[in-house]
Amino acid sequence: MTHIPPTQEAVDYLLLTPGPLSTTASVRAAMLQDSCTWDADYNLGVVEPIRRELVRLATSPEFANDYSAVLLQGSGSYVVESVLGSALGADDCVLIVNNGAYGARMVEMAQCLGLNHRVLDCGETARPEVQDLEELLIRHPEISHLAMVHCETTTGMLNPLEQVASLCQRHGIRLILDAMSSFGGIPFDIGQLGVEFLISSANKCIQGVPGFGFVIARRAALAACAGKARSVSLDLHAQWQTMEQQGGKWRFTSPTHTVLAFAQALRELDEEGGVSARYQRYQENQHTLVAGMQALGFEPLLPKEWQSPIITAFYSPTHPDYRFVDFYQRLKAQGFVIYPGKVSKADCFRIGNIGNVTPQQIQQLLAAIQQASYWLEANA
Ligand SMILES: *Cc1c(COP(=O)(O)O)cnc(C)c1O
């Protein structure tokens, strides 16, 4: 007899998290079908159009032929590890920008994979200064690649992509961009910026469900990964070659239902008006949130000019009765799920603005937060 309890009746919580996030009912409904991974309906009919659409979203037509998309099983970190482990040769050296948990994770991967690497540690609440990066490049001519997170989800910090990309172009450095939580939600053109590898995943701003990630990379850069991988299943070149040569076939079992949901999510992104329209909505969510939170006495961790529209970190109330878990449970009881903090040196909590979430729902969240602020005199 099984000891697995029956699935609870579904509750439609609004997930105000950096992913998995709230998806539309139509994205979830797209999963109600089984697909055969050998069949053309799936590979040529679903996977290949997704790969082309990802390139189209990432760059303008003049650069599109230079780029190719590879999908890979696992969460976003698997794909980051696949790129680092496949792109860097024994003589290469990667400079990793670290200003949060995801930058730190890339450092951990470089250590584990035995990659030559240098780190610019900025601290979690500062942005990398281009001058500091340039000094490192000059001092260490062995540096061949630079890896940076675009939106550091730890704090919601938006790193200076344009400046760093232009620095890389001036110095002939290959740029690896973890755009996990920004791709699809913030417009930028990787061809124009000269990004070699962009990494993102299904369950962030494209608003799909979790199960795979993807790389949009220069074809020449993918070709140069041949024979370099430190792992069989995370061999980016092998995965790319299988998809290229066998019409969208995945090397190992494909997360078929997740892929169907992703195809639907891409259609819905287009229907919304594309990346710029989605960006507008996220911005409006974020501005509504911050204005409302400030009116309730909460302060954001970051200065406005560094803040992304993706997720916002707020200082925890200093009242002695405040406990995150109690606050969290009271919000959850009202249908809203928020996120704990991840900054090591400041007590924070985070609220995401991405997913199938509207400014009206942010207003409802603000009303719920006021009610859930049990430590306030007015609510005593
Ligand atoms: C979500 C995210 C990742 C990947 O995290 P997983 O838990 O592996 O999905 C990587 N980088 C950033 C910036 C992210 O937001």
The residue among 150, 149, 182, 178 whose CA lies nearest residue 286 is 182
Angle 255-257-263 from CA coordinates, rounded to 5°: 100
Query: Which value, in Å, is the radius of gyration of the alpha carbons in the chain?
Result: 21
Closest residue (by CA) to atom 2 of ligand 1?
180
Strand order in the sheet with 117-121: 67-73, 212-218, 195-201, 174-178, 145-149, 94-98, 117-121
In angstroms, the first-to-last Cα distance of the chain is 48
Please say whether the beta carbons of 349 and 324 come within 8 A.
yes
Q: Which parts of the chain sit beneath pLDDT 70?
A: 380
CA atoms of 218 and 58, how far apart (whole Å) = 11
Q: In the numeric block, which tokens belong to residue 189? A: 């053109």
Q: What is the DSSP letter of 128?
A: P
With the most atoms of ligand 1 within 8 angstroms of its CB, the residue from 107, 161, 201, 258 to mutate is 201
Cα 76 to averaged position of ligand 1 atoms, centre (Å): 5
Closest residue (by CA) to atom 3 of ligand 1?
76
Q: What is the pLDDT of residue 328?
A: 96
Q: What is the pLDDT of residue 380?
A: 63
pTM above 0.85, yes or no: yes
Q: Is the Cβ atom of 18 under 6 angstroms away from ligand 1?
A: yes
Q: What is the pLDDT of residue 343?
A: 86
Q: What is the pLDDT of residue 104?
A: 98
With the most atoms of ligand 1 within 8 angstroms of its CB, the residue from 81, 99, 180, 311 to mutate is 180
The residues, ordered by sequence, that sit 6+ positions from 134 with a Cβ below 8 Å of its Cβ are: 167, 171
Q: What is the DSSP letter of 24?
A: -
The residues, ordered by sequence, that sit 6+ positions from 40 with a Cβ below 8 Å of its Cβ are: 247
Alpha helices in 30-185 (DSSP H): 40-42, 48-58, 61-64, 76-87, 101-113, 130-139, 161-171
CA atoms of 346 and 335, how far apart (whole Å) = 27
Q: What is the pLDDT of residue 4?
A: 87
